[in-house]
Every structure is written in structure tokens, then in C-alpha cells.
Amino acid sequence: MEMTLRWYGSKHDTVTLQQIRQIPGVTGVITTLYDTMPGEVWKEEDIRAMIDEVEAAGLHVAGIESVNIHDSIKIGDKDRDLYIDHYITTLERLGRAGIHMVCYNFMPVFDWTRTELARKRPDGSTVLAYNQKAIDAIDPEKMFDSLSGEMNGTVMPGWEPERMAKIKELFAAYQDVDEEKLFANLKYFLERIMPVCNQYDIKMAIHPDDPAWSVFGLPRIIINKENILRMMKMVDDPHNGVTFCSGSYGTNLENDLPDMIRSLKGRIHFAHVRNLKFNSQDDFEEAAHLSKDGSFDMYEIMKALYEIGFDGPIRPDHGRMIWGEVAMPGYGLYDRALGATYLNGLWEAIEKSHERGV
Ligand code: DNO
């Protein structure tokens, strides 16, 4: 595996490439062209400039998170072929530029969903949190307004104001899209892009829906072992793969994370590893990465990745806000650096004990 950090580009991120370079064991970044909207074709010169900037800092672009999918493709409306053509052109350009892993998601309307971006913990740190009762009480159209005050002046992925302004129309457009239709639209998309993925060896890595169930009545399909295996079989090509995000699949306590990892051998192209602390069945917060701080056994998660021979990029996921840092919620430097170091430590220990046959 290769340890990486997500980076939003010098225009948007409070964390610099120079700082990332100094985290022991981090050799790559996962980034995107943050100013492009879903459906836009990425310009070759923008891709080049992004790669050059990262390489000038002594790092490399280990993959893209995300090339976002236009709503027409998820809805399956009359414009989908046009937007799939755009997507294919972007993939070709990325492939020619030497990029071989692309993360994306297939969530209708909202990307990941949290109800608090700065819940205070007893140690004074703040974390992202989710409470189902709060979701049940909120009007989805007000969701953006309720969170935007906590974004520290940043624009969080999936919550761009341009999209949120059209929320009513978006909900209406998804009216007839149920789970089966969403699966069918995903299959259609994958079948069309697989030839170019094969040609340029681009590993597509679908990010799970977060939380792993339907919110606001919108269908969500990438939520558990059964559905993700269905998706892998539906388009049975090694380039059709997964971002294994422990924090997203882990929102549903019935998901056995190490078992899911083992069942996806050869199809995990990217890993997001973080912990969650459940306060009750319907309330969780994003704890520190350490097993002891949350509800997951991080050693078992890393061991399962090791045992299936996972060799793609991995990144610590959302960190807590600590030591007075002001940054995009979940994406500060300090706690993610601690997370990377902890995960590297687990990996080293697993590697060495396996060599010794322990
Ligand atoms: C949240 C992230 C998601 C993820 C996308 C992938 O911080 O894990 O926004 O990047 O869902 O397309």
C-alpha cells in the first residue's frame, strides 16, 4: 500500500504540499480539479499543472478523488450519453497523464451527510457527527444552510453552493429513481466506460454511500456486502472496483468490515481508513483513528487489507480538529498526520509479524 493524504489544491486547502511531504511515510496525494463541476471535461493543461505542482513538492498524484458523476447519469435522463462521453474524455486525458485510479460516488443529490461539523469532545477537540433524529427533524432543502456556518469558510466536497441552490429541482429529478433504477444506471455507466479504463489501466473505485442507508427518502445502493458484490458481478471487470471506506460502511454496525474487505479481494483500489465512535445506534461521531478511541478494531481492518494483498493508495480519513487548527472540517493537518502515522505503525507491525509467521 501507499500512504497518501487528500489535498484540495493550493487555492482551497489550508494544508500545504510542503507540510504533507513532512509526514513520515506519506509519499502521495489524492486530489482533484476542485474548480470543475460534475459533467465538465477536464482540460489537459489543468491536469498537467496539477501533476506538476504536486511533483515539484516531491510528492506524486496517487489518484483522483473524485471525478464526479453528473446527475443526468445517475438519473438516466436524455443527456446521460453526452455526459458519459465527457467522462470518457476526462478519463482518457487522465490515463495519458499517467493517472490510474479514480474515485467517484453514485449518491443522489447529497454526497456524504453529517448533522454536525464541529461537535465538541471532552478533550476539547471537535469532530464531525451524525444523529439520525436530527436528520429526521430537518427539511432537506435547509440542510446546506444548517451546516454552512460550520464550514470554516471552506467549501466542502459535495456541498458546493451552486448545487445546493438547485436542491428543489434535484429532488424532483430523482423522483422516479428507485434502487433498481439506480443500479441499472450505474451498470450502464460502467459498461460504457470500461473499454477506456482497460485501455489506460484506470482503476475505478466507487466510494460507498455515507451514511450507508437512505436519507431523505433518496435511494442509496453502495451500502453493504451484498450490494457491493452485486455491483462487482454486474460488471465483472477488475477495473470496476471499490474505495473501501471504513467510516462509511462502518456507519451500519451490521457491516462486518474485515469480512467485507476479504470478500473484495482484487477489487479494492483505494482505502479510506478511519474510526467512528457510536454513542447509540443512531448517533456516531468521527473519533481519532486509534482503535481505543472508537468502535472499530483498526488492527483487524488493516490486517484484512494486508492479507488480501492490497497494494493501492490508502489515506487516513477525516481527522478531528485539534491544537487550535482552523481548516475544512475533517481535513486539517494535525489529526490526519497522527492518523497516517498510526496506520503506518499498524501496517509495519502486521508486515513484520507475518514474516515471522506469528
Ligand atoms: C468525504 C469524502 C467524500 C468522498 C466522495 C467520493 O469527506 O469521503 O466526499 O470523497 O464521496 O466521491
Q: What angle do CA 165, 183, 90 make, to 5 degrees?
A: 65
Read off the pTM: 0.95
- Give the strand pairing for 268-273 and 28-31: unpaired
Ligand 1 site, residue 32, Cβ cutoff 6 A? no
* Distance, CA of 74 to CA of 177 (rounded, Å): 9
The pLDDT value recorded for residue 358 is: 62
Dihedral pair phi/psi, residue 223, rounded to 5°: -130, -20
Pocket test of ligand 1: the residue of 32, 64, 65, 101 to mutate, having most ligand atoms within 8 Å of its CB, is 65
* Distance, CA of 341 to CA of 333 (rounded, Å): 12
Q: Nine-digit cell at 114?
A: 453529517
Atom 1 in ligand 1: residue holding the nearest Cα: 112
Q: Nine-digit cell at 347?
A: 501496517
Pocket test of ligand 1: the residue of 5, 8, 12, 66 to mutate, having most ligand atoms within 8 Å of its CB, is 66
Ligand 1 site, residue 112, Cβ cutoff 6 A? yes
User: What is the distance in A from the centroid of ligand 1 to the CA of 112?
Assistant: 6
Ligand 1 site, residue 249, Cβ cutoff 6 A? no
Q: Which residues of the chain have pLDDT under 70?
A: 156-157, 357-358
Q: Which atom of ligand 1 is nearest to the CA of 243?
A: 6
Ligand 1 site, residue 103, Cβ cutoff 6 A? yes
The pLDDT value recorded for residue 111 is: 86
Ligand 1 site, residue 31, Cβ cutoff 6 A? no
User: What is the distance in A from the centroid of ligand 1 to the CA of 272?
Assistant: 10
Beta strands in the chain (DSSP E): 2-6, 28-31, 60-65, 101-105, 116-120, 126-131, 203-207, 240-245, 268-273, 277-280, 283-285, 313-316
Atom 8 in ligand 1: residue holding the nearest Cα: 112
Q: Which atom of ligand 1 is nearest to the CA of 111?
A: 11
User: What is the distance in A from the centroid of ligand 1 to the CA of 51?
Assistant: 21
Domain segments of the chain as ranges: 2-355
CB 121 within 8 A of CB 320: yes
Ligand 1 site, residue 80, Cβ cutoff 6 A? no
Question: Which positions are catalytic?
Answer: 207, 245, 272, 317-318, 331
- CATH of the domain spanning 2-355: 3.20.20.150
The pLDDT value recorded for residue 357 is: 67
**Rg of the chain's alpha carbons, rounded to an integer?**
19
Burial string for 198-214 (b: 16+ CB within 10 Å, else e) reads: eebebbbbbbbbbbbee
The pLDDT value recorded for residue 112 is: 85
Atom 3 in ligand 1: residue holding the nearest Cα: 112
Q: Nine-digit cell at 38?
A: 460534475
Long-range CB contacts for residues 287-291, cutoff 8 Å, separation at least 24: 287/127, 287/320, 288/125, 288/319, 288/320, 288/335, 288/338, 288/339, 289/316, 289/319, 289/335, 289/338, 289/339, 289/342, 289/343, 290/342
Atom 4 in ligand 1: residue holding the nearest Cα: 207
Q: Which atom of ligand 1 is nearest to the CA of 6?
A: 10
Atom 9 in ligand 1: residue holding the nearest Cα: 157
